[in-house]
Every structure is written in C-alpha cells, then in structure tokens.
C-alpha cells in the first residue's frame, strides 16, 4: 500500500461522505490525492479538504484506476455494483453499506475489536451497522472479561441515521407543530416530531426488523462468537444526531460493578460517564461530534444471572460510520 495513498470517497456529498472527508482531515490521514465521487446530479459540486476546493466527479465504472483506497457510503446497490469494479482495478474498498457485511470473504471490522481481521481482505472490507458498532464498543470489553452469552437491547436512533432529508423532516415538523400548521411527512411513515417509531428498516417474517437482526448477526462475526444471541427492538427517536442503546447482558462468569467499571475504563474509544448521584450519564447531545462512545447507567441486572445493564451512546455518523471507515483505512496502512 502506498504510504501517501490516493483516496476516493464515494457518496461524497451525503451526510456520511461529508463526515468521511472531515475525518480524513482531522485525523491527518496521509492522503496523497483525494477524489470525490457521487451521482451525476452531485457532479460539479465543490467540497473543502485541507482548505482547498475539491470538485465532485460522477461515479462511473472507470473511476477507480490509480486509486489506492475507496471509502464507500452511497448505499447498498451502488456498493454491490461498483465495489467489485474498484477491487478489480487494484483499489481496496472500505464499504459502509450492508452489501458485504455478512459475506464470508469480506472482513467486518471494528478496529478496537478485530483489527487483525483486516489482513484477510480480498479487496473489500465492510463497516458494521451503526447501532452494532456503538453497542459493541461497550459490550466487547465486557465479553473479553466475563464471556457474554446473550443480550436484550433497545435502541434510541437519531434521524440522521436515515439521512439529510430526515433531519430536515424533523426540523420542519417541529416548526409546523409549534406554529399550528398541519404536519407533513415524506421520509417516515408517521410523524417523528414528539413521537417515537418502533420501526427501523423493513420487517422480516419473524416480526423483527432487518436492523434488529444486524446486532446479532454482525456481532457474532466481529466478536468471533458464533453462539452470541441478541434480542433487539430498534426505535427511531426525534433526536438529530447520535444513537443510544439500553443493554441488558448475560455472561458466563460472575460480574461485579467494580470489575465491570475497571474493564470499561480501560477500553479504547470509550468514555465511562457514570455518576447517577450527580445526574451524569451518556446523552446524544454530549456525544454528538465526538469520536469516543460513552457508557453509563451501570448496574447489576436484577432479572438475569451474571447480568449487567448499561446505557451506551455514540455518534452514529462517526463511530457508526465515517470514523470507523477511516480507522479501517489506517489499519490498511500499518
């Protein structure tokens, strides 16, 4: 791998694409040259990188010649079509969609957990689902110490996980309600302002949604833990940015609060914010724009044997997407 790689961002004008560009700059990633790719309608737009305007060009099947690393965040159908073309052109793809996550030939990476898996790539690496990544930042260190068997979890997912149009929808609906106008909706099937929607992604025959099963399926792959079980309810909440997850986890070995706290305090990429007496616990507002996830509300679970309950929050555009992708690219250079 070139020490100062030619990097492409695919889906550069989207919410995650913009974060990827900023993250490359903020982490001083040794970009030799940056190419920004997007759909025909975004071509010609200019985005800043290191103080210079970079013009967005249209994504085509010939876009990848001479590019070393491509960070994809343009949706699953684009990834399925273009990632194999990029890999064939000698480029290493870090894909943010769900297209390749469960492909046995594609490593699924959270660098703090399974960075070594990067070495097994065949041209494509996958970024996990945002809720999975944020949950595992707290769960995996506990698993290493105590051996997790199963979790029960509920997510509190921000509208920015759906994209820029959803952020605008929440903002518009709040305005409509406070000024007494009828509420209009385009992105979500129901009003999101002053409401919560117990549906993220489409429903499966089991009654779970696709999003809800990602935590179990992707968690097994990332943690190398084939028998891990997760029963999850994913909920969209009227928050602009940053996801939170309430987790009850059961372990094979006895857990004490002191031991759990000590483990989490040592975990990379994670801050312990756990002082209930002073009303200190992780909140979306506090983790928005931050690289680290935060964990708190630690307590022994009163309904599980060897159980621990906790609350974890993280910026899903960063650790859940752009930051994790750039960290994978950093592993490629090592």
How distant is the alpha carbon of residue 174 from its chain centre? 26
Closest CA to 312 of 131, 143, 152: 131
Q: How many helices (H) and strands (E) does the chain have?
A: 9, 13
Choice among 91, 130, 234, 293 that is catalytic: 130
How distant is the alpha carbon of residue 299 from its chain centre? 26
Query: Is residue 60 a contact partner of residue 37, using CB atoms and an 8 Å limit?
Result: no
Choice among 6, 121, 143, 243 that is catalytic: 243
Query: Residue 69 has which token pair?
Result: 């690393």
Closest CA to 89 of 44, 127, 37, 40: 37
Distance CA 201, CA 212 (A): 8
The residues, any chain, with a CB within 8 Å of residue 78's CB and separated by 6 or more, are 10, 11, 59, 72, 97
Q: Which long-range contacts (CB under 8 A, 24 or more apart) does 194-198 make?
A: 194/238, 195/238, 196/235, 196/236, 196/237, 196/238, 197/235, 197/236, 198/233, 198/234, 198/235
For residue 271, the cross-strand partners are 294
Query: Is residue 148 a contact partner of residue 113, using CB atoms and an 8 Å limit?
Result: no
130 is a catalytic site residue = yes
For residue 6, the cross-strand partners are 33
End-to-end alpha carbon distance in the chain: 9
302 is a catalytic site residue = no
Query: Is residue 89 a contact partner of residue 64, using CB atoms and an 8 Å limit?
Result: yes
Distance CA 221, CA 97 (A): 16
Distance CA 19, CA 21 (A): 5
Distance CA 316, CA 308 (A): 24
List residues with catalytic annotation. 130, 243
């Amino acid at each position: 791998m070139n020490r100062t790689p030619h990097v492409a961002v695919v889906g550069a004008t989207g919410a995650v694409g913009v974060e990827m560009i900023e993250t490359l700059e903020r982490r001083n990633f040794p970009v030799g040259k940056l190419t920004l790719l997007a759909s025909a309608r975004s071509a010609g737009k200019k985005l800043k990188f290191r103080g210079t305007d970079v013009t967005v060009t249209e994504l085509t099947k010939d876009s990848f010649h001479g590019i070393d690393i491509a960070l994809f965040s343009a949706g699953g159908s684009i990834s399925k079509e273009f990632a194999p073309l990029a890999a064939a052109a000698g480029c290493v793809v870090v894909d943010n969609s769900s297209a390749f996550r469960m492909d046995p030939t594609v490593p699924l990476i959270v660098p703090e957990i399974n960075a070594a898996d990067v070495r097994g790539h065949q041209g494509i690496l996958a970024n996990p689902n945002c809720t999975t990544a944020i949950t595992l930042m707290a769960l995996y260190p506990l698993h290493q110490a105590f051996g997790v068997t199963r979790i029960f979890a509920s997510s509190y997912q921000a509208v920015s996980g759906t994209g820029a149009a959803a952020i605008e929808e929440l903002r518009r609906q709040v305005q409509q309600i406070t000024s007494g106008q009828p509420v209009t909706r385009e992105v979500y099937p129901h009003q999101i302002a002053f409401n919560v929607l117990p549906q993220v992604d489409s429903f499966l025959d089991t009654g779970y949604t696709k999003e809800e099963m990602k935590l179990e399926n992707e968690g097994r792959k990332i943690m190398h833990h084939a028998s891990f079980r997760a029963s999850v309810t994913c909920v969209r909440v009227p928050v602009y940015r940053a996801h939170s997850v309430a987790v009850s986890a059961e372990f094979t070995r006895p857990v004490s609060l002191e031991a759990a706290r000590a483990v989490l305090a040592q975990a990379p990429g994670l801050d312990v914010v756990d002082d209930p007496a002073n009303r200190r616990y992780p909140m979306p507002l506090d983790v928005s724009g931050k690289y680290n996830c935060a964990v708190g509300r630690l307590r022994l679970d009163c309904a599980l044997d060897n159980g621990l309950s906790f609350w974890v929050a993280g910026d899903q555009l960063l650790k859940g997407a752009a930051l994790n992708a750039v960290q994978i690219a950093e592993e490629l250079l090592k």
